[in-house]
Amino acid sequence: MQILLKINENFAKLPANYLFAEIDSRVKKFSQQHPEMEILRLGIGDVTRPLPEAVTDAMSKAAQELSHKETFRGYGPENGYLFLRKAISEHDYKQRGIDIEPDEVFISDGAKSDTGSIGDIFSVDNTVAVCDPVYPVYVDTNVMAGRAGNYVKGKGFDKIVYMPCRRENGFMPQIPERHADMIYLCFPNNPTGIGIKKPELKKWVDYALENKAVILYDAAYEAFITETDMPHSIFEIDGAKKCAIEFRSFSKTAGFTGVRCAYTVIPKELQFGSVYLNHLWGRRQSTKMNGVSYPVQRAAEAVFTPEGQAGIKENIACYHENARIIREGLSKAGFETYGGINSPYVWMKVPDGFTSWEFFDSLLSKAGVVGTPGSGFGPCGEGYFRLTAFNTKENTLKAVQRITDTFAK
């Protein structure tokens, strides 16, 4: 028998395309066939408003430092420069009364990288729990690692614990019956746009503490929270430092989707057996990456200046206004909508008789509007559709008008 290099067979269990790549390809095909149609994109969750000048000026200045002998910098610390870790600790935590120190903050190039790679420090024998619908990265990366088991059509992967989020439970995941070791939670939620209140989140912290599980808490959308009783960080909940890792990003908060900067918080006291996860992730990061670009870290630092804060708040206010336009416009026209208050995402029920993908195709061909089919996020997303607030106000108004003109009862 010929010995042959073996590939990671888990990849064969993945859907052939990443969700947004599939959408891209359908949109591209349509617009080639119909070049006259103006396409309005409310699909992918990508920001569109320019960065505050304070941020780009900081980045330019840092770039210029690198062409001078006196200010040149080579490798930075793998876990990020202290100036940025301090700014995050101070602004995002201490000022909210949460005691997170700079050495509990790990700077990275994105929350997708961090949520996608965090599994590296855990055994492949753990049971993973995810919401359904869910951001595909949590599932796909666990499929690759071999934690997901086999795909059963219409049901999902047989080793993953799915926590259905439906209209009937207010799109809130319920404590699962089967034991779970690694629980992915994302609030405000992608894709449903629903936020979580403190007592509800406390249930999860209590469950994790009692069951020796870890919560992988994605707070990438915390800047969109408008209601006062919603936690911006899981570390606002007592006990969370003993069971949770938090992921945050400058992408949606500060318009950094093209600049690339995020961070992960692992409290020093977070421990399983004799192992401290802060140390373990530090070891993983220092072995598998060489830190984030210096000018990018200076840009992120500038987000915390008064000018930076004013700029990003103005941007978020615009996205909130777009979310309101979608939510209220569709509601008035008789559509069922959720989210959009503490989130840039509105989750709408598709008209009767359509599946999510049928509605996607129909909306694209009849109205030239692109959204994301709910079923792309999991079986319980079937019958729903995600619209994002990241386009311009003008296009958002136009898109809502086209949807209601084409599909309202």
Q: Which of residues 342-371 bind its own copies (CB under 8 A)?
A: none
Q: How far is the CB of 35 from its own copies (least distance, A)?
A: 21
Enter the tokens of residue 144: 């690759």
Chain position carrying tokens 């602004």: 91
Please identify, among the stretches 119-127, 154-162, 167-175, 224-232, the one whose residues bind its own copies according to the rule CB under 8 A: 119-127
CB atoms within 10 A of CB 310: 11
Find the shortest distance in angstroms from Cβ 91 to its own copies.
21
If the CB atoms of residues 2 and 33 are measured against its own copies, the closer one turns out to be: 2
Cβ distance 51 to 254 under 8 Å? yes
Q: Is 209 in the site for its own copies (CB under 8 A)?
A: no
Q: Name, in order, each residue with C-beta under 8 angstroms of 127's C-beta and a sequence gap of 6 or more.
A: 147, 159, 160, 161, 178, 179, 180, 181, 182
CA 149 to chain centroid? 24
The type of residue at 101 is E
Closer to its own copies by Cβ: residue 298 or 367: 298
Q: Phi and psi dihedrals of 128, rounded to 5?
A: -100, 135
- Residues numbered 292 to 331 that lie near its own copies (CB under 8 A) are 292-296, 299
Nearer to its own copies, 1 or 152 (CB): 1
Quote the least distance from Cβ 179 to its own copies, whole Å. 6
Binding residues with its own copies: total (CB under 8 A):
88
> What part of residues 219-238 is at the interface with its own copies (CB under 8 A)?
none
> Across the strands, what pairs with 271?
276
Give CA separation, 325 vs 5, 49, 214, 319, 359, in Å: 54, 17, 38, 10, 20
> By CB under 8 A, which span of 89-97, 187-195, 257-265, 381-389 interacts with its own copies?
257-265
9 contacts its own copies (rule: CB under 8 A): yes
SS3 146: coil
* 47/346 with CB nearer its own copies: 47
The H-assigned helical ranges of 255-380 are: 277-288, 294-302, 306-332, 356-367
Task: Specify the stretch interacting with its own copies by CB under 8 A; choose among 31-39, 152-160, 188-196, 250-258.
Answer: 250-258
Q: Which amino acid is at 174?
A: Q
- Determine, following the binding rule CB under 8 A, whether residue 273 of this chain makes contact with its own copies: yes
> Could you say whether residue 53 binds its own copies (CB under 8 A)?
yes
Binders of its own copies in range 70-89 (CB under 8 A): 72-76
Residue 1 interacts with its own copies (CB under 8 A): yes or no: no
- Residue 213 CB, nearest approach to its own copies (Å): 6
Please state, in angstroms and as integers, the Cα–Cα distance from residue 1 to each residue in 8, 18, 402, following that order.
Answer: 20, 36, 62
- The string of DSSP codes covering 238-283 is TTGGGTEEEEEEHHHHHS-TTT--EEEE--TT-EETTEEHHHHHHH
Told to check if 149 binds its own copies by CB under 8 A, we report: no
Using the rule CB under 8 A, give the single segment among 196-204, 280-288, 330-338, 353-361 that binds its own copies: 280-288
